[in-house]
Structures are given as C-alpha cells and as structure tokens.
Amino acid sequence: MTRRLALVIVGVVVATLLLAGAGTITLSAVRARATTIDEVTARAEEIAVNIGELLQTDLPPDSEEGEQQLRTRLRLLNAMRTTLALDELVVLIADDKGVLRGDELPAELELTDIRPDELAAGTTVAGSRNRTAYAAVGLQGPYDRLWVVVATRRITSGLGAGLVLFLWASGATILLALGAAWFLGRRLSRPIRDATAATQQIAAGQLSTRVAVPYGTRHDELGELARNVNAMAEALERSRVLEQQFLLSVSHDLRTPLTSIRGYAEAIEDGAGDPVRSATVIRNEARRLERLVADLLDLAKLQAKAFTFDMLRLDLASAATTAVEGAAISWPDIEFHAVATAPVWVRADPDRLAQVLANLVENAGKYARSKVLVSVRTDDGWAVVNVDDDGRGIADHDLPHVFERLYVARHAPGRKENSSGLGLAIVAELVAAMGGQASAGAAPTGGARLGFRLPLAR
C-alpha cells in the first residue's frame, strides 16, 4: 500500500508540475510575442516619423551620387538598431512606379509578409514569423516616393533563469512528495496491517486479540475499522464463552434426569424400593428429557427458518387467560391473574402463540414469590402483553440479553427449574416470526416484566 500510495502521490505531483510548466511556458511565449511585436512596432513608428529628416539628401536618389549618399545614411541608420534594441532595421524605397523590392528585407521575411498594398495606404503592418517579430511602417517620404521602415527583433520567452529555478523547484517538490508519500503510507497502512494481523489471530482462535484504535477516539474509516474488528472479536469471544456455558448447562440438564432414571431402574432391577414410585420418577424424568429435546429442536427449526405458521385471527386476551389457568395448576402456591378489558384480536398461529404465553407465564412462576399478573392491552396499532412477577427482578446489565439463546443457561433461578431453560429464547424467535417483538424490563412490583407485542388484526 505504501508503494502504491507513493506512486500515486508522485504521479499526481509530476502531472501537476508538467501542466503548470506547460501552461507557464505557453503563457510566457504568448505574452513575449505580443510584447515584442508592440515594442518593435513602436520603434518602427518612431523612426518613420523622423525618416524624412534622417535620410534627406541634396542629390536626387536616382543619380549615382544621390543613391550612394542615401545608402550611406541607411547604413548609419541600421547601425542604430543596437541602441534601439532591434535585430534588423532597414528602409525600403519604392521606385517611381511605387513598386517595392524585397531583396533588402531581413532574411526571415518575405515581401508578402509586410503587405505592400496596406503600407501604401498608410497602415502599419506587424506580426511574427519563425520566432521573429516584425513591424513595417509606410509613409510618403522625400522625393515623393513610398518609404517603408522595417524593424525586426527575435522573440524570447523571457524565462531564462526562471526556467532553471522552476526545474530546481520541481525536483525539490518531487522529493518532498516522495517523503510525504512514504510517511503517509506508513501511517495510514499501519492500522490496516494491525487489523489484518488481528483478524488472522482471531481466525486462529485467539479471540482475546484486540486492535489499538489509532489516535484514541478518531472517527474516520481507519478508526471505524479498528472498532469493528474489536467488536467482532468481543462478540466471538462472548459467543464462545456462552456456548461453553450452554453446553455445560445442557449437559447438566441431560445428566440429572438420566442419573435419576438409571438409579431408579437399577433399584427396580435389584428389587429395592417402591416400583410404583420408581416408575413415576422415571416417567417424569423422561418427560423432562422430552421437553429438553423438543425445546432444542424448536430453537434449531426457528433459527433455520424451518418452522411453519398457520396464521389465524384470534383473541389474544382469551389465549392469555388459558395460559394463566394452565400455569395455576403447575404452581399452586403462586397467584396468577389475567387482566384484559376487552377482546384483543391479532393474527397469529394458535399453537405457537399458546407456546409463547405458556413459556412467559411459567418463567414468571419460577421466579415469583407469590403473584404473577398477565395484562393484555392495545397501544397504537399493537397488541401488548406484559407478564409481571414479584420476584427479585433482572439486573440492568442483563436486560439486553434476556432473550438470547444462551442467557438462560448462565443464570439459575432461585427455585429449581423443571424446564430446559431455553423458553425465553424460543419466545423471542416465535414472536419475531409472527411479526412482533419481545421485550424485558422491570415490573411496578419490583420484579421482572417480560412481554411481547403483535400487530392488531385488521
């Protein structure tokens, strides 16, 4: 990652420098061309204004002596080009027919470049050719002829030492980009390398591995990655601990009735004890095993989405009353009450709803000291069932985990359980499958409040 980041950063810097350099050179060339043409034009016009006085001779230019005298003065005028910052300075004189000859033009120019027709009309002609700026000014000179002043200057970009400085600055910038890329690459990739190493250790079974969150509480993508890896490790570690506790609990639930069955079976075999009482114990323990296996199968089916539901319209208040009546027989020392002001109609599977209500009411009976209250009401389109007991309640830190599959295996109730301890997990799964939601909290009486809500039937 560091190498790729360095290549990207350096590539961007180099591309930026190339674009900036190309743009600077282009703009400099355009500006230098325009400036040079303007300056050459100004010089040519200044000379043209005074050309008559500079080249006035006493002899006609057609005579040999006059032509020689004129050429001498032209050479003197051309010698002034250095002072005027010009490369070439020539004066063309048309013949008596107004025709200009181009044999005396600077080597870079041709007669068509200065456009004689426009010069005869008094127009100044300026431009550039082969990186040479030129200007031609025509005027009616001495002896009533067309005189043309032509000045030229080489166009330079004007960069000079600035170009060398730009190249040095570009090299320094590239070196700085390499250093910054290496630094950022190491700094940004370190959390990723740490997360990779941590996930490999977690995959190898070291679930206590954690990733240090970079810069404490940073909330960028790297910080979120570290926190998510840690959350995953914590969830896996907790899941492993709960699974071990679950297996220990289920093993205990299996071993206890099996031990009783084997003990009473051996007693019958040896002829000791009361055979009728032994058979009763064996039957009860066998039922306990059947319920444990049924709960495990139900939970496995729910998690595998293999349960089928026959959704019917039914009265939730009546179903709650039936569940309370059944629990009252199993717990004769606990008072069970069902409270509902009117029928509450929902769409649910009758058997699964009865299983949910029975599990909640029986769970409350295990923990209650003397009373269990089951209330059914409506709330903004929902049917709400609350099962309150007057037991010791549920600790706040345990509330979010009450309906987890392994929670019940980690917490033994105050009185002896006769069920598998998976009832609440099954409740949550069944309620969710019927479109509702299970909940846990504190009852007004100080005990626990477990319940659920289902959508009202339309």
Least confident of 175-179, 213-217, 353-357: 213-217
The predicted-structure confidence for 317-366, as pLDDT tens digits, reads as follows 999 999 998 888 878 889 999 999 899 999 998 988 988 998 899 889 88
Percent of the chain past pLDDT 90, that is, above it, reads: 16
- The mean pLDDT of the chain is 78
| Count of other CB atoms within 10 angstroms of residue 348 | 28
Tell me the two tokens of residue 298.
Answer: 């139900």
- Partners of 91 in beta bridges: 149
More confident residue, 198 or 439: 439
pLDDT of residue 415: 42
What number of other Cβ atoms are within 10 A of residue 24's Cβ? 15
Q: pLDDT grade, residue 11 (50/70/90)?
A: confident
* Residue 196: φ, ψ to 5°: -65, -45
Q: What is the dihedral of CA 249, 253, 256, 261, to 10 degrees?
A: -160
- CA-based radius of gyration for the chain: 52
Give the pTM. Answer: 0.46
CA 200/CA 332 separation, integer angstroms: 56
Contact between residue 51 and residue 91 where contact means Cβ atoms under 8 Å apart: yes
**Residue 210: what pLDDT?**
83
Looking at per-residue confidence, does 367 or 192 come out higher?
A: 367
Is the separation of the CB atoms in 363 and 450 below 8 Å?
A: yes
Q: How far apart are CA 424 and CA 434, in angstroms?
A: 15
> Is the CB of residue 317 less than 8 Å from the CB of residue 343?
yes
Q: Mean of the pLDDT values across residues 116-134?
A: 85
pLDDT score at 266: 83
Query: Region 364-383: what's the mean pLDDT?
Result: 92
Q: pLDDT for 386-436, tens place per residue?
A: 999 998 888 888 888 888 765 554 444 444 444 445 778 888 888 998 999
Question: Of 281 and 407, which is predicted with more confidence?
Answer: 281
Higher per-residue pLDDT: 307 or 277: 277
Amino acid, res. 282: I
Distant-in-sequence, close-in-space partners of 357: CB < 8 Å, separation ≥ 6: 319, 320, 322, 323, 374, 385
Which tokens is 301 given? 């089916």
- Which range among 156-160, 197-201, 432-436 shows the weakest confidence by mean pLDDT? 156-160
Lowest pLDDT segment from 136-150, 258-272, 288-302, 411-425: 411-425
Among 31-35, 88-92, 374-378, which stretch is predicted with the lowest mean pLDDT?
Answer: 88-92
Q: How far apart are CA 19 and CA 37, in angstroms?
A: 27
DSSP 334: S
CA 427 and chain centroid, separation: 38
Residue 304, pLDDT score: 64
- The span from the CA of 208 to the CA of 188, in Å, is 24
pLDDT at 216: 52
User: Quick check: 297 pLDDT over 90?
Assistant: no
For residues 392 and 367, is the Cβ–Cβ distance under 8 A?
yes
Q: Per-residue pLDDT averaged across 186-205, rounded? A: 79
Asked whether residue 452 carries a pLDDT value surpassing 90, the answer given is yes
Predicted pLDDT of residue 418? 41
Written as one string, the DSSP assignment of 301-313 is HHHTT------EE
- The predicted pLDDT at position 255 comes to 73
Q: Which of 133-147, 158-172, 203-217, 391-405 has the highest mean pLDDT?
A: 391-405
Tens of pLDDT along 69-122? 566 666 656 656 666 678 888 878 777 777 887 777 888 888 888 888 888 887
Range 274-304 burial, b when 16+ CB lie within 10 A, else e: eeeebeebbeebeebbebbeebeebbeebee
- Scored b (16 or more CB within 10 A) or e, 50-67 reads ebeeebebeeebeeeeee
Number of CB atoms found within 10 A of residue 438's CB:
21
Residue 371 has pLDDT above 90, yes or no: yes
Tokens of 97: 């027919």
Average pLDDT over residues 162-172: 75
Residue 310 tokens, joined = 């026959």
Q: How far apart, in whole angstroms, are the C-alpha atoms of residue 336 and residue 371?
A: 6
Q: Which of 171-180, 198-207, 356-365, 407-416 has the lowest mean pLDDT?
A: 407-416
- pLDDT, residue 410, reads 46
Backbone angles phi, psi at 117, to 5 degrees: -60, -40
The type of residue at 114 is I
For the chain, helix (H) and strand (E) counts, in that order, are 11, 11
Q: Residue range 173-200: average pLDDT?
A: 78
Distance CA 298, CA 427 (A): 10
Distance between CA 338 and CA 431 in Å, rounded? 20
Residues 120 and 98 sit within 8 Å (Cβ to Cβ):
yes
In the chain, the domains with their CATH numbers are 2-154 (3.30.450.160), 207-306 (1.10.287.130), 312-455 (3.30.565.10)
DSSP one-letter code for 219: -
pLDDT classification of 22: cutoffs 50, 70, 90: confident
What SS3 class is residue 91?
strand
